[in-house]
Chain A
Amino acid sequence: QVQLVESGGGVVQPGRSLRLSCAATGFSFSTYNMHWVRQAPGKGLEWVALISYDGNNIYYVDSVQGRFTISRDNSKNTLFLQMNSLRAEDTAVYYCAKGPLAGYYDTWGQGTPVTVSA
């Protein structure tokens, strides 16, 4: 059964850091590009970052460039998102998602909530 399970979310003060994880099971993790997508409360979906299957190609939305780092450990079938210098506007549910090269997401995790508040 193909499954993605996020963890690591929580409440954090502005300027602090948080590391999200996404554990993958049921598919060949090392052959898929992986993404993080977020959704602020009551708002739409926003793509955050993409890492290629081998980790060699990485892309970010402008609003997190220089603050967030996406990475993966193919030996542990796990995706990460290191979030530094967090801002109130980063408050959202963060989803990891997988899909083929065509870029659609056929599997999503259940999401992990991140709240940035003093």
Chain B
Amino acid sequence: DIQMTQSPSSLSASVGDRVTITCRASQSVAGYLNWYQQKPGKAPKLLIYSASSLQSGVPSRFSGSGFGTDFTLTISSLQPEDFATYYCQQSYNTPITFGQGTRLEIK
């Protein structure tokens, strides 16, 4: 199974900050890496697919990069509605696996 490790596990930041979350795969997943945002009591929401493609309707302050084993999600200027938990997911092969999540909190 491919293990996905996110860092940090939690992060405190302020509105307007630039934030980067990292996701590392235990083996190459090529570009099959996706990012989701989840707010309490809600279903996850797709932000970035195929490592760097912005899902329709997602603000352009979100961006993704990487290939192979190392990936990043960047929020260029945090907005109040961005405080949530973020997950990476590999869809390279089954079992599909998620990172453990990064909780982004208000400083």
Report which A residues bind B (CB closer than 8 A). Answer: 35, 44-47, 50, 59, 61-62, 95, 99, 102-106, 108-111
- Asked if B32 is at the interface of the complex by the 8 Å CB criterion, the answer is yes
A69 CA to B3 CA in the complex, in Å?
25
A59 touches B98 (CB 8 A): no
Number of A-B residue pairs with CB-CB distance less than 8 Å in the complex they form: 57
User: Interface code B79-107, partner A: CB below 8 Å = 1, 0 otherwise?
Assistant: 00000000101011011111111000000
Report which B residues bind A (CB closer than 8 A). Answer: 32, 34, 36, 38, 43-46, 49-50, 55, 87, 89, 91-92, 94-101
Select from chain A the residue with minimum beta-carbon distance to B6: A44
- Could you tell me the distance in whole angstroms from the C-beta of A51 to the nearest C-beta in chain B? 12
Task: Among A45, A61, A62, A95, point to the contact of B89 (Cβ < 8 A).
Answer: A45
Query: Which of A47, A62, A95, A109 gathers the greatest number of chain B CB atoms within 10 Å?
Result: A47
- Residues from chain A with a CB closer than 8 A to the CB of B97 are 47
Select from chain B the residue with minimum beta-carbon distance to A96: B43
A105 CA to B96 CA in the complex, in Å?
11
B50 touches A102 (CB 8 A): yes
- Residues from chain B with a CB closer than 8 A to the CB of A104 are 34, 46, 49-50, 89, 91
B43 touches A44 (CB 8 A): no
